[in-house]
């Protein structure tokens, strides 16, 4: 079983689901230059998801999926969003516990920011659940809790 989150175009490009095409193309150019210089790409927005070094073809394919409206919508549904004021994701990648601690208070209450924070928590727990299924050292309890939290936040996402 492979994690679908590791295949996300947004994950591969290291950006949020509400990035504009202009931003996506800027990331693409940066990544292509880094690839030519033999540099390693920065870590993912979700550091517990390991990202392998990408080829130019993988970068172009990810960008192409985001240029296509239908495939972009599918990608957006299962990735994190920064929100209108860029306050629904931290400025720098955080380890899993700190990322959840950052988002949990934002997921309380009502409104657009709350909905985005809940969506982000659903994505994070869902991605982590897949990762823990692949982790032989993960306990059944940890796997269960990840799936349970994922289900809870997907259910609460409107």
pLDDT reading at 51 higher than 90? no
What tens digit of pLDDT does each residue of 59-84 get? Answer: 999 999 999 888 999 999 999 999 98
The pLDDT of residue 140: 93
* φ, ψ of residue 70 in degrees (nearest 5): -65, -45
The pLDDT of residue 50: 82
pLDDT reading at 109 higher than 70? yes
Q: Which CATH class is domain 4-77?
A: mainly alpha
pLDDT category of residue 154 using cuts at 50, 70 and 90: very high
pLDDT reading at 43 higher than 70? no
Residue carrying the six token digits 């590791």 = 6
Q: Where in the chain is the domain with CATH 1.10.287?
A: 4-77
The pLDDT of residue 158: 65
Query: Token pair for residue 83?
Result: 């929100």
pLDDT reading at 146 higher than 80? yes
Of 38, 41, 59, the residue nearest 50 (C-alpha): 41
Provide the whole-model pTM: 0.90
- C-beta of residue 51 within 8 angstroms of C-beta of residue 6: yes
The pLDDT of residue 13: 94
């Amino acid at each position: 079983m492979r994690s679908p989150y590791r295949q996300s175009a947004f994950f591969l490009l290291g950006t949020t689901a509400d990035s504009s095409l202009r931003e996506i193309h800027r990331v693409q150019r940066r990544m292509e230059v880094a690839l030519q210089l033999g540099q390693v790409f920065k870590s993912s927005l979700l550091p517990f998801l390991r990202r392998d070094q990408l080829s130019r073809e993988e970068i172009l394919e990810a960008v192409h999926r985001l240029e296509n409206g239908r495939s972009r919508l599918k990608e957006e549904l299962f990735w994190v969003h920064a929100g209108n004021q860029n306050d629904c994701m931290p400025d720098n990648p955080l380890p899993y516990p700190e990322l959840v601690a950052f988002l949990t208070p934002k997921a309380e209450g009502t409104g657009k920011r709350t909905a985005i924070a809940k969506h982000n928590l659903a994505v994070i727990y869902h991605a982590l659940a897949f990762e823990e299924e692949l982790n032989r050292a993960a306990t059944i309890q940890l796997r269960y809790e990840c799936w349970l939290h994922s289900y809870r936040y997907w259910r609460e996402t409107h």
